[in-house]
Amino acid sequence: MKKTLLAFLCVALMSATVLAADNGVIIKKGSGPALAHVTNPSLVRTPEVVRPAGTKTIFSNLGPSSTNLYYDGDGWLVAGPASELGESQFIALPFTPAKNSTVTKIETSVGYLGAGANQFVLSLNNDDGTGNVGTVIEQKTMKNTPNFGSCCTLNKWTLKTSQAVVAGTQYWVVATTPASGKGDDYYGAWAFSNLDTFEYNIESSGWTNGLAFTGVPAGAVLGTIP
């Protein structure tokens, strides 16, 4: 199960069909999760704030610079049951620490699509032992998320309690909404990681950097590593 997530996301991307378009954002849905695609992403790049000294990276697929932390043109919808999608859709990002560590901060690239209360629930979860999302370790309501299609403001969560994680064990960063009440209509998208790159050269005109989409949502898990 740990290795099937990437393949599933790729298939979902290829099979997606257009459902609706609004304000330059096209929503696509196929047999897998719904996708948001920005037809005119913002050209303004806002540098992300430098992390505090001493913060260690337990996991990250952000990068490679403060003005290019994730790909802001596509992302998986994060939507509550009362959202414009008409059903709930939640997204989870797996990570496996290389060493025993302590998680103190989590960063994600979830952006707002302009409908519903601008807040979602971000959580750190155990694995259920079969490669799927398990029980919640800690969670927080993230408010005032940046507009989807812009870069590079992150959802930055400092955990209330530092959480120990074990080397070689899979954990999850999860974006959900409440089942009811404020935030059950949140309508946003979790932007893709931009680390999968390649270059192309057409008619010997020079090398150009490109992006090979895998559909993996962008994020980082930070803290201390002994």
Per residue in 160-174, pLDDT tens? 999 999 999 999 999
Q: What is the pTM of this model?
A: 0.83
What is the model's pLDDT at position 10?
34
Half-sphere exposure of residue 116: CA atoms within 13 angstroms, side-chain side? 29
pLDDT band at 215; cut points 50, 70, 90: confident
What is the model's pLDDT at position 2?
36
Q: In angstroms, rounded to a whole number, what is the distance separating the alpha carbons of residues 216 and 76?
A: 9
Residue 72 lies in domain: 4-224
Radius of gyration, CA atoms only, the chain: 17
Contact 112/147 with Cβ under 8 angstroms?
Answer: yes
- pLDDT(226) > 70: yes
Strand partners, 68: 65
Handedness of CA 213, 216, 217, 222 (dihedral sign): negative
Contact 188/145 with Cβ under 8 angstroms?
Answer: yes
**What's the mean pLDDT in 195-213?**
67
Contact 150/43 with Cβ under 8 angstroms?
Answer: no
- pLDDT(203) > 80: no
Domain count across the chain: 1
Residues 6+ apart with CB under 8 A from 20: 26, 27
**For 96-130, what is each residue's pLDDT tens digit?**
999 999 999 999 999 999 999 999 999 999 999 99
Q: Which residue has the higher pLDDT, 32 or 225?
A: 225
